[in-house]
Amino acid sequence: MAKSKSTKRKDKDFLRKPYYEGGLTALRQFIRKNMKYPADALKNKIEGHVHLKYAVNHKGLVIKAKVVAGIGHGCNEEAVRLVKLLKFKVERVRKMRVTYNKTIRIYFKLPKPNEKSAGKVSYTIKKKEATSKPKEKSYSYTITF
């Protein structure tokens, strides 16, 4: 007696992992857009990586975030704030409510200095408008210390 193949295809994974809608590039763009560089870190010229562990619940919301390795000066708190803003897409499989553990590394890099000022250190942060609209002005903000 020959075995017949089932018409239903089995999933490769038992549980599907949560994912950020739009992929890694959208996640990076979200972090870049919502990051507020801490004033203390700007003042002390601190830059580097903050490693975090976080938990995503069955609804796709970040419920816990913990700094594994940080750089201080307000960057750790900013990284936790950014991670808690994230919303993931979670497909319910097998009618289970699962909490997923993930890690992320957020890089804090000092904005490039503006050459116009002599003696003072200032940074320019540019805000780009959506590209779907016809040419609009782009805005820039200058922070001087």
Residue ranges per domain, the chain? 14-110, 111-145
Query: If you write DSSP's letter for every residue of 71-120 in order, what string do you get?
Result: --TTHHHHHHHHHHH-B-B----TT----EEEEEEEEE-PPPBPTTSSSS
Given a contact cutoff of 8 angstroms between Cβ atoms, the answer to whether 75 and 46 are in contact is: yes
Given a contact cutoff of 8 angstroms between Cβ atoms, the answer to whether 124 and 112 are in contact is: yes
The CATH H-level (homologous superfamily) assignment of domain 14-110 is TonB (3.30.2420.10)
Cα 121 to its chain centre, rounded Å, is 28
Residuewise pLDDT in 10s, the chain (145 residues): 555 554 454 556 677 888 899 899 999 999 999 988 888 888 888 889 999 999 999 899 999 999 999 898 889 999 999 999 999 998 877 778 888 999 999 999 888 776 444 444 434 444 444 444 555 555 555 454 3
